[in-house]
Structure 1
Amino acid sequence: MNIPMEPIRLTAMISAQMLPKALIDFATLAAIGAPIMAVILEITAKARKKIFYDKLAQQVTTLTLILYLLFIICLGGAAAFFSRQMPWLRDWFINPASPVMMFYITLGIALAGLIPYKYTWKKLKKSKPLHIMFGSIGALGGLATIHVATVVMQKFFTLQMESPNPAVPAVPFFTHFQQIPGKAGLCLAGIYLIMALAFAATASGLYLVCRRNKDDFGRDYYKFSLPVVSRWALFPTLIQLAASAGIVYYICGPNVATLYQNLPVAISFGTSLLLTIICCAIWIVTWRSEAPMRHKIGLSLTPLLVTLAHATLMAGTMNLYLSLS
């Protein structure tokens, strides 16, 4: 049997190039999705009067600040790297007129809500509405960041089509956010939101496993919490899978045959699908298990598998775009 080594090599090369972006995407979107997850869990705890939901929300909140720190380090490192490679890009990060300023504002709003949300958990135990308000501010700041990032990317790449080194528009930065994005921008933001929830739950599974000995809340707690985070990871991932398939079909249009005639595209999408199915299988088994902690190795691997699936999906999309252009 002849193994097509060249398409495999090309797929591996492009996927490796996409891996740093996939890692940044995972850290960024998980940080944005985790506060949403934590607030919903805390509200659920109050509504159902189940303390385990509250404990899980508290752990997810701690994870949120870790993810935001990782998110800031990743984006700061990426900004420094690309600014050194392309000096003209530095102006986009520091110019007061740059639309990136709005990104800094939404990031600040998110942290302004999340820090008191984390550190007033016990103090506001009897004032849940106020405490939930802090978490909601953090979650809304993250959601606003998704919208801002979508608009900034649209503006930047639109200008880059006109000039390879686009200058910062000479208008106040907030004017770029007074219009609702088009269908493409809204679809992209919607997919980012779904990914944020899936990535946050995936990271939560790893965090619970890693903190098992230090935050030992008992076997019953982990029998409860691990299936919960597995469901939180599973269902958004399935929705994301369907949405990604729809976008790929939309990109192809009448050229659907390209998906299986172009081997690098087929290998990339096939690899991404396989990795996603493996993750879903791990979450389903954990969800249905009587002893979820037995699947800690699988839960520990899912963040890596999800990141690789995201990298190969982006590699396949790039290959597809290049083959159709």
Structure 2
Amino acid sequence: MTPLISDPLQPVFVFAGAAFSVCLLATICAPLITLTSQILASSRKKVFYDKFAKQLATMATTLGVLCFTTMAAGILHTALEEPALFEGPLRLPLMAALGVLTFAFALQVTYSLTWNSLKKNKALHKLLGLLAGLAMFTAVFLSLGLKRAVLTSGQSISSGSSFVDVFLTVYSIPIYSVFWPLLAQALIAGMGAAGGLGLCYLLMRREADNFGRDYYNFSAAYCAKCALFPSMLQTVPAALLVWMSQSLITPFTIQNPFLALWAAGIALPLLSCILWAVIAKSNTPMRHKPGMIIALFLLVTGFAVQMLAGLRIYGLL
């Protein structure tokens, strides 16, 4: 039987990749949480929602600078090592994905930096948040679709194909493709990741910001809920992804170590959910500092285990 780990360093690299992915997805999905919090601040007349939204937007922008700088370095390296990718027929979807991602991050930065200057024009500020969120989600769709094309039909696209033909080939994705549960899991899990990282960010910034005990009791419990519900929901597309991959998992039984590993990866974030539930229900949520950190570690570890199992099963690692 094929070993679970072919290289002792694989788990280290995969964990690092999972940690980066959690930060990136949190950056991408944070605008949806911040926009929702702004709407709740208006509808419920509670300023704490708006204050929390501003903090989370600042966290997402800071993470975005780190993530997108790292990605830019990786893209530059790829351009030097694989120039054909930027010269072949896939260059148009590649440039589109990079362009939308850059535009989305610019909107995210603008949304974060104009929080005070647009205080009297909240409708415009919310619109910026909505556009940033939609652009981020579009960038994820374009990027994952391009990755799928590279792994499947990318090499069969003629260099003489028109712009429209290339995009139709890349993004005409069958409804039964594993692309869809993967996309759903990425976006839903990203919201949970934003909540999980947000809790740790509250801890890091508490002494510097010092917004008062009442605010932190509210924001920690609210942030834990933002992490809890999406992280529970993302197990549905995660399980569907496994089910749709059963032709590659032989035998498709829990005795198969690859299937058992993937199932364990899906289950690990549920342990994080237990800790977030305790924090959300606590009258003093900021006292659960170890639980906040352990929950985030379990979340990253769960995604790392899923990545390791999935990449091994699909022969990409």
The reply to whether TM is greater than 0.5 is yes
Alignment partner for residue 280 of structure 1, among 273, 280, 286? 273
2:59 corresponds to which of 40, 63, 71: 63
CA shift, 1:202, in A, is 1.4
Q: Alignment identity in percent?
A: 26
Structure 1, residues 59-97: CA drift from partner, whole Å, max 9, x if none?
Answer: 0110121121122123123334445554544647xx994
Which residue number in structure 1 is paired with residue 200 of structure 2?
206
1:252-271 aligned at under 5 Å gives the runs: 252=246, 257-270=251-264
1:187-209 C-alpha deviation (Å, 9 max, x unpaired)? 33222211221111111111111
Correspondence for 1:300: 293
Report the CA distance shift for 1:256/1:249 in structure 2 as closer, same or farther (over 3 A).
Answer: farther
Amino acid at match of 1:260: I
- Sort the Cα spacing of 1:227 and 1:10 in 2 relative to 1 into closer, same or farther, 3 A: farther
Contact 2:189–2:230 (8 Å) recurs in 1: yes
Q: Is the 8 A contact 1:151 1:177 kept in 2?
A: no
Aligned with 1:260: secondary structure? coil
Q: Which amino acid aligns with 1:192?
A: A
8 Å contact from structure 1 (residues 275, 305) kept in 2: yes
8 A contact 1:259–1:320 mirrored in 2: no
Q: How does 1:172-321 map to 2 (within 5 A)?
A: 172=163, 176=167, 181-183=173-175, 184=177, 185-252=179-246, 257-270=251-264, 272-273=265-266, 275-321=268-314
Matched-pair contact (CA < 8 Å) for 1:96–1:173: no
**Structure 2: which amino acid aligns with 1:230?**
A
Instruction: For residue 153 of structure 2, give the secondary structure of its aligned residue in structure 1.
Output: helix
Deviation at 1:132, TM superposition (A): 0.7
- Corresponding position: 1:15 with 2:15: no
CA positional deviation for 1:124: 1.8
1:237-277: per-residue Cα shift (whole Å, max 9, x none)? 1111122122212322696753423235424532x245323
**2:249–2:313 Cα contact (<8 Å) kept:** no
Three-state SS of the structure 2 residue aligned to 1:121 is coil
2:4 touches 2:312 (CA, 8 Å); kept in 1?
no
Matching residue's letter, 1:197: M
Are 2:74 and 1:78 equivalent residues in the alignment? Answer: yes
Q: Which one-letter code corresponds to 2:11 in the other structure?
A: S
Computed over aligned residues only, the root mean square deviation of the Cα atoms, in angstroms, reads 3.0
Moved more, 261-270 or 23-32: 261-270
The residue type equivalent to 2:37 in the other structure is L
C-alpha distance in 2 between matches for 1:232 and 1:121: 21
With over 3 angstroms needed to count, the CA separation of the structure-2 counterparts of 1:247 and 1:57, relative to structure 1, is: same
2:29 & 2:93 partners in 1: Cα distance?
23
Task: Please say which of residues 56-65 and 191-200 is displaced more in the overlay.
Answer: 191-200
Is 1:46 aligned to 2:39, yes or no?
Answer: no
The Cα of 1:161 is off from its aligned counterpart by 6.2
Give distance in 2, aligned partners of 1:219 and 1:173. Answer: 56
Distance 1:11 1:36, change over 3 A: farther
Label 1:171 to 1:199 Cα distance change in 2 as closer, same or farther (>3 A): farther
Shift of 1:304: 3.0
The normalised TM-score by structure 2 is 0.86
Change over 3 Å in CA distance of 1:316–1:40 after alignment to 2: same
Runs of 4+ in structure 1 deviating by more than 6 angstroms, as ranges, are 166-169
1:107–1:283 Cα change, 3 Å: same
Q: Partners of 1:297 and 1:44 in 2: how far apart?
A: 29
The structure with higher relative contact order (CA 8 Å, sep 6+) is 1
Structure 1 distance, partners of 2:222, 2:51, is: 12
Distance in 1, matches of 2:159 and 2:213, equals: 55
Measure how far apart 1:292 and its partner are: 0.4
Count of residue pairs the alignment pairs up: 311
TM-score between both structures, scaled by the size of structure 1: 0.84
